[in-house]
Amino acid sequence: MKKSLIVIDYTYDFVADDGKLTCGKPGQAIEQTISSLIKEYIAANELVIFTNDIHYEDDTYHPETKLFPPHNIAGTAGRDLYGMVKDVYDKHKNVCISLDKTRYSAFAGTNLHQLLQERGIRDIALVGVCTDICVLHTAVDAYNLGYTITVYKNGVASFNTAGHDWALEHFTNTLGAKVV
Protein backbone atom coordinates (compact mmCIF):
# COMPACT_ATOMS: atom_id res chain seq x y z
CA MET A 1 0.00 0.00 0.00
CA LYS A 2 1.29 3.37 -0.99
CA LYS A 3 -1.88 5.47 -1.23
CA SER A 4 -5.21 5.85 0.49
CA LEU A 5 -8.59 6.96 -0.76
CA ILE A 6 -10.53 8.75 1.97
CA VAL A 7 -14.30 8.86 1.43
CA ILE A 8 -15.72 11.70 3.51
CA ASP A 9 -19.34 11.86 4.74
CA TYR A 10 -21.01 10.19 1.77
CA THR A 11 -24.05 9.41 3.90
CA TYR A 12 -27.81 9.53 3.47
CA ASP A 13 -28.21 12.73 5.48
CA PHE A 14 -25.66 14.55 3.32
CA VAL A 15 -26.69 13.19 -0.10
CA ALA A 16 -30.30 11.97 -0.29
CA ASP A 17 -33.02 14.36 -1.43
CA ASP A 18 -34.62 14.10 2.00
CA GLY A 19 -31.35 14.03 3.97
CA LYS A 20 -31.18 16.25 7.05
CA LEU A 21 -28.29 18.39 5.70
CA THR A 22 -28.22 17.37 2.07
CA CYS A 23 -26.23 18.75 -0.81
CA GLY A 24 -28.79 16.94 -2.97
CA LYS A 25 -28.26 16.63 -6.71
CA PRO A 26 -24.59 17.75 -6.68
CA GLY A 27 -23.85 15.02 -4.11
CA GLN A 28 -25.82 12.44 -6.05
CA ALA A 29 -23.98 13.36 -9.26
CA ILE A 30 -20.64 12.16 -7.80
CA GLU A 31 -21.93 8.73 -6.72
CA GLN A 32 -20.62 6.85 -9.77
CA THR A 33 -17.19 8.49 -9.57
CA ILE A 34 -16.79 7.65 -5.89
CA SER A 35 -17.98 4.07 -6.39
CA SER A 36 -15.57 3.57 -9.31
CA LEU A 37 -12.64 5.04 -7.37
CA ILE A 38 -13.32 2.79 -4.39
CA LYS A 39 -13.25 -0.27 -6.67
CA GLU A 40 -10.11 1.00 -8.42
CA TYR A 41 -8.23 1.55 -5.15
CA ILE A 42 -9.30 -1.83 -3.78
CA ALA A 43 -8.25 -3.59 -7.01
CA ALA A 44 -4.84 -1.90 -6.73
CA ASN A 45 -4.52 -3.11 -3.12
CA GLU A 46 -4.62 0.46 -1.82
CA LEU A 47 -6.31 1.47 1.43
CA VAL A 48 -9.86 2.84 1.36
CA ILE A 49 -11.04 4.65 4.48
CA PHE A 50 -14.58 5.86 5.10
CA THR A 51 -14.86 8.73 7.56
CA ASN A 52 -18.39 9.54 8.63
CA ASP A 53 -19.78 12.32 10.75
CA ILE A 54 -21.48 11.20 13.96
CA HIS A 55 -23.63 13.32 16.23
CA TYR A 56 -25.82 12.53 19.20
CA GLU A 57 -29.44 13.43 19.86
CA ASP A 58 -29.85 16.64 21.89
CA ASP A 59 -26.09 17.30 22.16
CA THR A 60 -26.07 21.00 23.01
CA TYR A 61 -22.29 21.13 23.48
CA HIS A 62 -21.20 20.32 19.95
CA PRO A 63 -20.29 23.53 18.09
CA GLU A 64 -22.22 22.49 14.96
CA THR A 65 -25.46 22.55 16.96
CA LYS A 66 -25.57 26.33 16.51
CA LEU A 67 -24.71 26.17 12.80
CA PHE A 68 -26.62 23.27 11.25
CA PRO A 69 -29.79 21.26 11.83
CA PRO A 70 -29.36 17.86 13.53
CA HIS A 71 -27.80 15.38 11.10
CA ASN A 72 -25.95 12.05 11.06
CA ILE A 73 -27.40 11.16 14.44
CA ALA A 74 -26.04 7.94 15.94
CA GLY A 75 -28.39 5.00 15.40
CA THR A 76 -30.33 6.60 12.55
CA ALA A 77 -30.48 5.73 8.86
CA GLY A 78 -29.07 9.18 8.15
CA ARG A 79 -25.61 7.81 8.93
CA ASP A 80 -25.86 5.01 6.38
CA LEU A 81 -23.64 5.30 3.34
CA TYR A 82 -25.60 6.45 0.30
CA GLY A 83 -26.58 4.46 -2.80
CA MET A 84 -23.95 2.60 -4.80
CA VAL A 85 -21.25 3.68 -2.36
CA LYS A 86 -23.05 1.70 0.36
CA ASP A 87 -23.30 -1.30 -1.97
CA VAL A 88 -19.57 -1.18 -2.79
CA TYR A 89 -18.68 -0.76 0.88
CA ASP A 90 -20.90 -3.67 1.92
CA LYS A 91 -19.21 -5.89 -0.68
CA HIS A 92 -15.67 -4.89 0.33
CA LYS A 93 -15.93 -3.84 3.99
CA ASN A 94 -13.49 -6.56 5.00
CA VAL A 95 -10.67 -4.61 3.25
CA CYS A 96 -11.84 -1.09 4.13
CA ILE A 97 -11.63 0.92 7.33
CA SER A 98 -14.54 2.94 8.69
CA LEU A 99 -14.03 5.76 11.19
CA ASP A 100 -16.50 7.95 13.06
CA LYS A 101 -15.57 11.61 13.24
CA THR A 102 -17.10 14.32 15.41
CA ARG A 103 -15.56 17.36 13.71
CA TYR A 104 -15.24 18.54 10.13
CA SER A 105 -11.75 17.10 9.59
CA ALA A 106 -11.33 13.34 9.31
CA PHE A 107 -8.09 13.77 11.30
CA ALA A 108 -9.63 15.62 14.28
CA GLY A 109 -10.22 13.25 17.18
CA THR A 110 -9.67 10.07 15.13
CA ASN A 111 -6.73 7.72 14.65
CA LEU A 112 -6.61 8.40 10.89
CA HIS A 113 -3.08 9.82 10.98
CA GLN A 114 -1.88 6.80 12.99
CA LEU A 115 -3.52 4.33 10.59
CA LEU A 116 -1.85 5.99 7.61
CA GLN A 117 1.55 6.21 9.36
CA GLU A 118 1.46 2.54 10.37
CA ARG A 119 1.07 1.59 6.73
CA GLY A 120 3.67 4.05 5.46
CA ILE A 121 1.07 5.96 3.46
CA ARG A 122 2.00 9.56 2.60
CA ASP A 123 -0.27 10.05 -0.45
CA ILE A 124 -3.97 10.50 0.12
CA ALA A 125 -6.88 11.16 -2.20
CA LEU A 126 -10.09 12.80 -1.04
CA VAL A 127 -13.68 12.38 -2.22
CA GLY A 128 -17.03 13.10 -0.63
CA VAL A 129 -19.02 15.99 0.77
CA CYS A 130 -19.02 18.83 1.46
CA THR A 131 -16.14 20.21 -0.59
CA ASP A 132 -15.94 23.47 1.36
CA ILE A 133 -16.48 22.02 4.82
CA CYS A 134 -15.38 18.48 5.74
CA VAL A 135 -13.30 17.80 2.64
CA LEU A 136 -11.58 21.18 3.01
CA HIS A 137 -10.83 20.77 6.71
CA THR A 138 -9.50 17.26 6.11
CA ALA A 139 -7.25 18.63 3.35
CA VAL A 140 -5.94 21.42 5.60
CA ASP A 141 -5.06 18.94 8.34
CA ALA A 142 -3.46 16.59 5.79
CA TYR A 143 -1.38 19.48 4.47
CA ASN A 144 -0.26 20.39 8.01
CA LEU A 145 0.71 16.75 8.60
CA GLY A 146 2.80 16.65 5.43
CA TYR A 147 0.66 14.44 3.21
CA THR A 148 0.61 14.65 -0.56
CA ILE A 149 -3.01 15.38 -1.43
CA THR A 150 -5.12 14.61 -4.48
CA VAL A 151 -8.72 15.78 -4.70
CA TYR A 152 -10.95 14.22 -7.34
CA LYS A 153 -12.91 17.18 -8.72
CA ASN A 154 -15.71 14.90 -9.96
CA GLY A 155 -15.75 13.13 -6.59
CA VAL A 156 -16.55 16.11 -4.34
CA ALA A 157 -19.69 18.24 -4.00
CA SER A 158 -21.37 20.81 -1.79
CA PHE A 159 -24.71 22.51 -1.26
CA ASN A 160 -22.82 25.80 -1.71
CA THR A 161 -21.63 26.28 -5.31
CA ALA A 162 -19.48 29.32 -4.49
CA GLY A 163 -17.89 27.52 -1.54
CA HIS A 164 -17.25 24.44 -3.67
CA ASP A 165 -15.49 26.49 -6.37
CA TRP A 166 -13.48 28.43 -3.78
CA ALA A 167 -12.37 25.22 -2.05
CA LEU A 168 -11.17 23.67 -5.34
CA GLU A 169 -8.98 26.75 -5.91
CA HIS A 170 -7.79 26.68 -2.29
CA PHE A 171 -6.74 23.02 -2.57
CA THR A 172 -4.44 23.89 -5.47
CA ASN A 173 -3.27 27.41 -4.68
CA THR A 174 -2.86 27.22 -0.91
CA LEU A 175 -2.45 23.55 -0.03
CA GLY A 176 -0.50 22.44 -3.10
CA ALA A 177 -2.99 19.65 -3.69
CA LYS A 178 -3.45 18.09 -7.08
CA VAL A 179 -7.05 18.52 -8.27
CA VAL A 180 -7.80 15.98 -11.00
At residue 63, does pLDDT exceed 90? Answer: no
pLDDT tens digit string along 119-169? 999 999 999 999 999 999 999 999 999 999 999 999 999 999 999 999 999
Rounded to whole angstroms, the Cα distance separating 178 from 180 reads: 6
At residue 62, does pLDDT exceed 90? Answer: no
pLDDT tens digit string along 107-120? 999 999 999 999 99
User: What is the mean pLDDT of the segment spanning 19-29?
Assistant: 97
Question: What are the structural domain ranges in the chain?
Answer: 3-179
Mean pLDDT of the chain: 96
Q: What is the pLDDT of residue 166?
A: 98
Other beta carbons less than 10 A from residue 77's beta carbon: 11
Is this structure's pTM higher than 0.85? yes
Rounded to whole angstroms, the Cα distance separating 14 from 21 reads: 5
Decide if 42 contacts 177 (C-beta within 8 A).
Answer: no
Q: What is the pLDDT of residue 94?
A: 97
CATH code at 3-179: 3.40.50.850
Q: How confident is the model at residue 68 (pLDDT cuts 50, 70, 90)?
A: confident
Angle between helices 161-173 and 136-144 in degrees, nearest 10: 10
